[in-house]
Chain A
């Protein structure tokens, strides 16, 4: 176990083999509480942000406690080789990107990472990314790096997004929407991959709780990683559904 910041912890499993590929997720069963989807942040680890009952219980586990795991599930990121890549992450969205960066590094890519954070205290994984990439950081309150969001950071630190062969991103819906719209304007959506989040109940693609409009794509099975072209016209960043399936505006 490793504390990344006050609310974020990484849990390493005793197995040393890869539990899945970057962008894939596990269904993590906190016995007696709930089962939740969590991406791999290393080949054999998950990184959790404490936000509700399941994640808080996970947070308080002891070193030798065991968890129920199902998976890996979903389609992960498509990996390219020997190219120039840009990774953009906001908040806990950095978790799958760290594993991705590791694998991209093994494939001899030239990596740049943009990290968006609320404030200086919440920044995490920056040192891990620095080991294999150029790193730029923005904070909403300006307490570290560029003041603003990752889109501001992108516009400020990268002169021309066209120099990248692939752009990978994960973060809150609003962030993904702003990037989708920007990359659409730049006409490079086919070179962008996003890991998106919706309520995942079954993880197997049959219950329907993770469907996104208007194509009825299943985040748990068709995703969670989608090319920008597949989701540009989607509900992402506009509305979501809760556990009961009721829509709410973002």
Chain B
């Protein structure tokens, strides 16, 4: 299946930052059934990441401030050389400015089936979310990058904005081949024993089950405004969660925190999804955006006013 200009083995993709720091780790997930894998976000210079704690398990998800540790594009090449191409490889990149991104993209281009531009990391000052919140900047940087590389470009969005569709439209206008939504949602935890914030970096991002409704509304809203494909991320743990995203309008999904419970999650969701489609006698294609078509049916039944009031 072709999504955002690359051929995926299936619509279940490993999300950036989860077991994506080494070639052999990416190989492991690829062999466990991922339709494609996204690497850890790679920058221009090596970063050690934030002091610990960097990841806390909460009741229904995780709070993290890993701090984009990465070896820089230069040292990441040896990891990319270890990747066995078992499935397509999407390289996630971030940068503080255009010249950093040019360096990274030029050097990694030959290894990538596509790039994912991380404009949305909430935990690192000056890198992701600050720039990812400004539609004008997003449109410009997307256009610039499209000039630098011929590889497909996916732009990853943050939901920590007033209206995510404005950022999505900006990415589309800049020439993005797909948008990915969402990155983690801002959050905080405090140790009741001592009063210290739970994360070394204080500020963190939520992921996992608890953010699924936020991811879904983001994808749902983006679908109404965009022509380019949307890749849904956030809180997917089983095939029904994935189906919800398809029905909201996602052409593919990424799975991150869900790997915690089950490293074989890609194989399992894939076979359960096939079972579901067989039972219903439908194609995946028909699920995509289904909730919008149902909504329209409902509108035709003249219930739309009522619905807006409910909301």
Contact = CB atoms under 8 A, between A and B. Distances in A.
Interface string B72-85: 10011011001000
B28 A215 contact: yes
Nearest to A234: B24
A161 B46 CA distance: 45
B290 to A, nearest CB: 31
B197 to A, nearest CB: 10
A207 B64 CA distance: 10
A13 B62 CA distance: 27
Nearest to A200: B52
Main SS class of interface, A = loop
A209 interface: yes
B305 interface: no
A8 interface: no
Contact of A206 (B55, B75, B76, B196): B55
* B23, B29, B53, most chain A CB atoms within 10 A: B53
B22 A211 contact: yes
Contacts of B193: 66, 68
B93 to A, nearest CB: 15
A216 B257 CA distance: 18
B36 to A, nearest CB: 17
B263 interface: yes
Contact of A207 (B17, B56, B200): B17
A245 B70 contact: yes
B21 interface: yes
B194 A66 contact: yes
Nearest to B17: A207
Given A201-B54, A208-B21, A245-B21, A31 B196 contact: yes
Nearest to B194: A31
Contact of B25 (A36, A70, A203, A216): A216
B51 A34 contact: yes
Indicate the size class of the contact surface on chain A: 20 to 34
B157 interface: no
B19 interface: yes
A34 B52 contact: yes
B52 A35 contact: yes
B55 A204 contact: yes
B49 A204 contact: no
A206 B55 CA distance: 9
B51 A202 contact: no
A243 interface: yes
Nearest to A242: B48
Interface string A22-54: 000001010111111000000000000000000
Indicate the size class of the contact surface on chain B: 35 or more
B22 A246 contact: no
Contacts of A70: 53, 56
Nearest to A28: B52
Nearest to B56: A70
A214 interface: yes
Contacts of B79: 245
Given A205-B260, A206-B257, A216-B27, A244 B53 contact: no
Contacts of A131: none
Interface string B56-73: 110000101010011110
A230 interface: no
Contacts of B82: 213-214
A220 to B, nearest CB: 11
B21 A215 contact: no
Given A201-B54, A205-B263, A213 B48 contact: no
Contact of B70 (A31, A66, A218, A244): A244
Nearest to A207: B66
Contacts of A36: 52
B208 to A, nearest CB: 10
B199 to A, nearest CB: 10
A247 interface: yes
Contacts of B18: 206-208
Contacts of A202: 54-55, 64, 66
B71 A201 contact: no
Contacts of B26: 216
Contact of A35 (B40, B47, B54): B54
Interface of B: 17-29, 40, 46-49, 51-57, 62, 64, 66, 69-72, 75-76, 78-79, 82, 191, 193-194, 196, 200, 256-257, 259-260, 263
22 contacts: A27-B53, A33-B51, A34-B52, A34-B200, A70-B53, A70-B56, A201-B52, A205-B19, A206-B256, A206-B259, A207-B54, A208-B21, A211-B21, A212-B24, A214-B27, A218-B19, A242-B48, A243-B48, A243-B69, A244-B70, A244-B71, A246-B72
Interface of A: 27, 29, 31-36, 66, 68, 70, 201-209, 211-216, 218, 241-247
Given A70-B56, A218-B25, 10 more contacts: A29-B52, A33-B51, A35-B53, A201-B54, A207-B21, A211-B22, A244-B46, A244-B47, A245-B21, A245-B22
Task: Give 6 nearest A-B pairs by CB, closest first.
Answer: A35-B52, A216-B28, A243-B48, A216-B25, A202-B55, A208-B21
